[in-house]
């Protein structure tokens, strides 16, 4: 076989994307707009739902997408970041974009990415837009990467925007207060569209209302129009009832554990009911099966048993409050061992302070990433507590230590970053 030096395989394609301006944040759309214009603006040729927020946007997006797929719509979804593979980010009817298709797009579009100095996220966003257009999707669920106002995904013209919980995160880029961050998230609100808000924080709600009013968008705060009550929750999922005007659903089930996931599901059901008002043919059976058949990784997910090893992508204080509440509810008398890894730009001190009271021992581990925090920084927090603390240079070392020194009925939780979940999952894949 003759080697074609111009050929690109999937591994090379992903490396090429990663070699773009990863981590760079733009505060304008000039470059990506020009790039999309060269491609005849594919993002303007399909309907979309745009979702922003600090926590819950990935789960909410996945639920809406799953319900649309159950209803027979060819639905796209674009989320970030991925856990194990880039193809997780872009799916149509719940199926990941084929790796050969990613390879083909990178080969075809790489010169465009370089011409406009696209960031990694911008390039991935362009690929998703082109793929959804070429797949002739009926509608796409598009999740922001960070913020909203200047996020590359904000170039879509959605029929509905959804803003999940708003909290402090990415303060370096989005602002130091909930009001400032809400204003950035609210940047996705478009004129004369429906805006569905999950946020319950008064400051956030007031800002989002003001933005919606200024753009003549119809604004709905979910908790005012719909209610959801938990029925049963265990390690395998959560059952709940849902009620809003002209819609009452009993014993809905999502294969996700945590009261916060009921809040996300409530937002998803409210959103698809708004789609019904716009002519989408979605019935109660589609909602029930869409939630039940949901497939999303890294949300209080069991990846091993005896002992249980549970992964969660939570990476900010609000997310760790949710993890803590779930642990208390599901494992009130179990010994909890935490594998903790985070990026240095996250509020990892607050995360540890929140989760520490429910842990017997914590292993701080260094991520396989140059942005990893230094786990030795946490040592002073444990000097006068009964919670033991150890630190390791890798997730693998921390996992091996806990698996050797825990009993079969203990619980190991791995959380703090998408990267720690990735490294934990890969460890068990190799066993």
pLDDT digits (tens, 9 = 90+) for 214-231: 999 999 999 999 999 999
pLDDT in tens, 310-357: 999 999 999 999 999 999 999 999 999 999 999 998 999 999 999 999
SS3 at position 265: helix
Judged on CB neighbours under 10 Å (0-12, 13-18, 19+), 403 is middle
Indicate the DSSP class of residue 422.
H
pLDDT cut 90: percent of the chain above it: 82
CA distances from residue 341 to 336, 346, 352, 422 in whole angstroms, order as listed: 16, 10, 10, 11
CA-wise closest residue to 253 among 410, 188, 245, 261: 261
Structure tokens at 330: 């599901």
How much helix, strand and coil, in percent to the nearest 5, is found in the chain? 45, 20, 35
Q: Which phi and psi angles does 196 have, rounded to 5°?
A: -110, 120
pLDDT in tens, 114-169: 999 999 999 999 999 999 999 999 999 999 987 777 789 999 999 999 999 886 55
Indicate the DSSP class of residue 360.
S
Per-residue pLDDT of the chain (431 residues; tens, 9 = 90+): 333 445 679 999 999 999 997 656 666 788 899 999 999 999 999 999 999 988 899 999 999 999 999 999 999 999 999 999 999 999 999 999 999 999 999 999 999 999 999 999 999 999 999 999 999 999 999 999 877 777 899 999 999 999 998 865 544 545 567 777 888 888 899 998 999 998 777 888 888 899 999 999 999 999 999 999 999 999 999 999 999 998 999 989 999 999 999 999 999 999 999 999 999 999 999 999 999 999 999 999 999 999 999 999 999 999 999 999 999 999 999 999 999 999 998 999 999 999 999 999 999 999 999 999 999 999 999 988 899 999 999 999 999 999 999 999 999 999 999 999 999 999 999 86
CA distances from residue 101 to 122, 129, 238 in whole angstroms, order as listed: 18, 13, 36
């Amino acid at each position: 076989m003759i080697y074609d030096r111009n050929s690109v395989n999937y591994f090379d394609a992903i490396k090429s994307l990663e070699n773009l301006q990863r981590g760079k944040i733009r505060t304008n759309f000039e470059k990506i707009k020009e790039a999309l214009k060269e491609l005849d603006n594919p993002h303007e040729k399909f309907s979309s739902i745009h979702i922003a927020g600090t926590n819950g946007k990935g789960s909410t997006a996945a639920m809406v997408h799953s319900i649309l797929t159950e209803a027979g719509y060819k639905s796209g979804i674009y989320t970030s970041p991925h856990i194990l593979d880039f193809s997780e980010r872009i799916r149509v009817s719940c199926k990941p974009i084929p790796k050969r298709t990613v390879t083909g797009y990178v080969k075809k579009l790489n010169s465009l990415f370089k011409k406009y100095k696209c960031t990694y996220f911008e390039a991935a966003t362009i690929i998703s837009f082109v793929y959804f257009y070429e797949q002739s999707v009926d509608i796409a669920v598009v999740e922001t990467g960070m913020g909203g106002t200047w996020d590359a995904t904000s170039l879509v013209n959605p029929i509905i925007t959804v803003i999940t919980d708003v909290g402090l995160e990415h303060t370096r880029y989005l602002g130091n207060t909930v009001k400032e961050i809400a204003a950035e998230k609210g940047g996705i609100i478009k004129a004369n569209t429906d805006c569905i808000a999950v946020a319950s924080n008064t400051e956030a709600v007031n800002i989002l209302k003001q933005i919606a009013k200024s753009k003549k968008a119809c604004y709905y705060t979910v908790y005012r129009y719909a209610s959801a009550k938990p029925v049963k929750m265990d390690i395998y999922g959560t059952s709940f009832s849902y009620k809003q005007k002209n819609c009452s659903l009993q014993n809905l089930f999502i294969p996700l554990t945590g009261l916060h996931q009921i809040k996300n599901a409530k937002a998803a059901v409210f959103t698809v009911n708004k789609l019904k008002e716009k002519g989408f043919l979605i019935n109660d059976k589609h909602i029930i099966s869409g939630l039940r058949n949901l497939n999303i990784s890294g949300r209080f997910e069991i990846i091993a048993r005896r002992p249980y090893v549970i992964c969660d992508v939570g990476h900010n204080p609000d997310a760790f409050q949710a993890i803590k509440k779930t642990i208390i509810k599901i494992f009130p008398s179990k010994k909890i061992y935490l594998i903790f890894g985070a990026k240095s730009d996250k509020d990892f001190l607050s995360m540890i302070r929140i989760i520490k009271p429910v842990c017997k021992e914590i292993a701080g581990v260094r991520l396989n990433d140059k942005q990893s925090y230094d786990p030795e920084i946490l040592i002073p927090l444990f000097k006068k507590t009964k919670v033991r603390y150890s630190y390791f240079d890798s997730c693998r070392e921390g996992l091996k230590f806990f698996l050797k020194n825990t009993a079969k009925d203990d619980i190991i939780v791995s959380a703090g970053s998408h990267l720690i979940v990735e490294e934990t999952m890969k460890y068990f894949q190799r066993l």
